[in-house]
Structure 1
């Protein structure tokens, strides 16, 4: 009952804060004005993702005091998330050069990993792989890539919110099924609830956008939660990677193809697969809901097989990603 109450409060608080932020953005002309690289056609308020940040962190801190949740995990999660959100907020209000943003992102990732204890050993076929300090370097790159790819993938109405909700609900269920600790399933539930309150305002047609503060926060928080879950049940790390497959495949393939063409990676563009799909079908709603359907109907069953030890993690990842790679090429991810 306490969990349901906490989730309800997180959703309600996020919904209310988003309404307040929307009114503030409209009154102060904080609008995302369309240009040739935009996927929207009407000036729209931005910065609503701050509602997710505040509501999730507030409820998480409350539960630490009332449910004896781990202080180190809270400090790592809240510190990295709040720092990345602050950098994103400042970038939303005024431009921060890409190199300084990247340096700040790595600082947030290092902070989180220091409190989590780094990257745990990960099960691979025939053994458990412990990479030591090099694993921590790879984990930092993983967190920074996740927070940036989440920013890249937040380009049409509703897609970032639907991705976060479906991934978090799936991860929470798998953590519960595998007997992981309270944090491994409670924190994803709280995050999904906070995102739900915002999504009520962002579902197509969006009345407010998430902004870099919200998308970066979601990306790094999902990454930290996946590493924390791996400390509880190591095979859950593979399950998280499978659940995040749509965003990881589209963003990574787009990045690689733009690198091959010698384009500036920090320059705005509209070449992601989901953006091509939205233009082809003339609907943000169809594409965003399809992403949710892929997560629920394809990625979640495979992640469950891995979490329950019915399928090896590496094999499950390859099987899960193969059709996603085909879809990314099918919808011209990375092509102008």
Structure 2
């Protein structure tokens, strides 16, 4: 009962917080003005993701006080999440040079990983590998990439919010089915925090998430995947599989732009989902299509992996093949 009320408060704080942030952005002219690289056509307030950050991070000490999350998990998520959100907030209100943003992201990742006791042994094709310090380096790079790919993929109405809610609830299902229900509360709380924001961000969006919110979500999802790996190796594969739409689009686009000699740190609109939204002339259709792919394709694969019917590595490969085909079909990384 207490947990239910706490989740309701998280939802309310996020919903009201987003409304207040929208009013603040309008009063301060903090608007995302369309340009040739934009996927929207109407000037829209930005920075609403701060409501996700505040509502979720404030809930963590309460979850900890109820004995639902351990101290080290609390310190990991609070420290890493707050720093990433602060960097994004400052960048949303002005400009932080890319090198300083990246340094802050690596510091955040290292902090979060430290409190989770590093990357546990990972299982690939049935064999366990303890990568020691090299595994921690790879884990930090993974966290920074997940953070930034979430920034890259937050480009049309509702897509980043819908994706975060799906991934969190999908993992709640996997945790419940695998007997790891003790891990449920954090992704459930995060999904509720995002849901309050999504009310205002659903197509047509009344406010955008901004770097503070998108980077924060990427870091949280990455850290939760590493936390899950310590409970059961196959659960980390489930996290990777459920985030596949964003991972494939962002990675394929980045690699394509690198091959073409483009400056990858410059803003662009060449992701597959952006090409798809222009072709469909609708953010709603693309966001809902991503949700359908997630529910009908990626969620069942993740459950097969969690149940042991499919090896995690091969589950990832199966999940990625049609997504790579879609990336080619919608010319990810190419300007059209």
How do residues 185-334 of structure 1 correspond to structure 2 at under 5 angstroms?
Answer: 185-334=184-333
Provide the C-alpha distance between the structure 1 equivalents of 2:206 and 2:48, rounded to a whole number of angstroms. Answer: 10
Residue in structure 1 matched with residue 145 of structure 2 by the alignment: 145
1:146-161 correspondence runs (5 A): 146-161=146-161
**Residues 175, 229 of structure 1: 8 Å contact kept:** no
Residue in 1 that maps onto 2:29: 29
Give the secondary structure class of the aligned counterpart of 2:207.
Answer: coil
1:74-125 deviations in whole A, cap 9, x for unaligned?
A: 1011110110000001111111111111111000000001000111111111
Measure the CA separation in 1 of the matches of 2:222 and 2:112: 10
Report if aligned partners of 2:68, 2:185 keep a CA contact under 8 Å in 1.
no
| Deviations 1:275-331, CA, capped at 9 Å, x for gaps | 000000000000001111111110000000101111100010000000000011111
Distance, in Å, in 1 between the alignment partners of 2:152 and 2:40 is 15
1:25 and 1:31 in contact (8 A); partners too: yes
How many angstroms apart in 1 are the aligned matches of 2:206 and 2:132?
Answer: 46
Q: Distance in 2 between matches of 1:124 and 1:261?
A: 33
SS at match of 1:239: helix
**In structure 2, how many angstroms separate the alpha carbons of the residues matched to 1:110 and 1:119?**
11
- Measure, in 2, the Cα distance between the counterparts of 1:139 and 1:189: 24
Q: Is the 8 A contact 1:178 1:233 kept in 2?
A: no
Q: How does 1:42-61 map to 2 (within 5 A)?
A: 42-61=42-61
Q: How do 1:78-117 and structure 2 match up within 5 A?
A: 78-117=78-117
CA distance in 2, matches of 1:299, 1:279: 25
User: What CA deviation, in whole Å up to 9, does each residue of 1:183-217 have, x standing for no partner?
Assistant: x2110000000000000000000000000000000
Q: Give unmatched runs, 5+ long, in structure 2.
A: none
Cross-structure match for 1:163: 163
Q: Give 1:181 shift.
A: 5.2
By how many angstroms is 1:3 displaced? 3.2
Q: Find the counterpart in structure 1 of residue 15 from structure 2.
A: 15
| Aligned mates of 1:82, 1:14 — CA distance in 2 | 16
Q: Separation in 2 of the partners of 1:171 and 1:68?
A: 17
Q: Partners in 2 of 1:2 and 1:282 — Cα distance?
A: 44
Structure 1 unaligned regions, length at least 5: none
Q: Take 1:270 and 1:160, find their aligned partners in 2: how far apart are those partners?
A: 16
TM-score (norm 2): 0.98
Structure 1 counterpart of 2:125: 125
> Aligned equivalents of 2:317 and 2:239: distance in 1?
14
Structure 1 CA distance, aligned partners of 2:110 and 2:144? 10
Q: Structure 1 length normalisation: TM-score?
A: 0.98
Report Cα offsets for 1:245-269 as digits up to 9, x if no partner: 0000000000000000111111000
**Structure 1 324/68 Cα, relative in aligned 2: closer, same or farther at 3 Å?**
closer
Is residue 304–residue 310 contact of structure 2 (8 Å, CA) maintained in 1?
yes
Considering only aligned residues, what root-mean-square deviation do their CA atoms show, in Å? Answer: 0.9
Cα contact 1:181–1:232 (8 A) shared by 2: no
Name the SS for the 1:128 alignment partner. strand
Q: Distance in 2 between matches of 1:174 and 1:129?
A: 23
Structure-2 change in CA distance of 1:181 and 1:131 (3 Å): farther
Alpha-carbon distance between aligned partners in 1 of 2:23 and 2:82, rounded to the nearest angstrom: 23
- 8 Å CA contact 1:37, 1:270 repeated in 2: yes
**CA–CA separation in structure 2 for the residues paired with 1:12 and 1:267:** 36
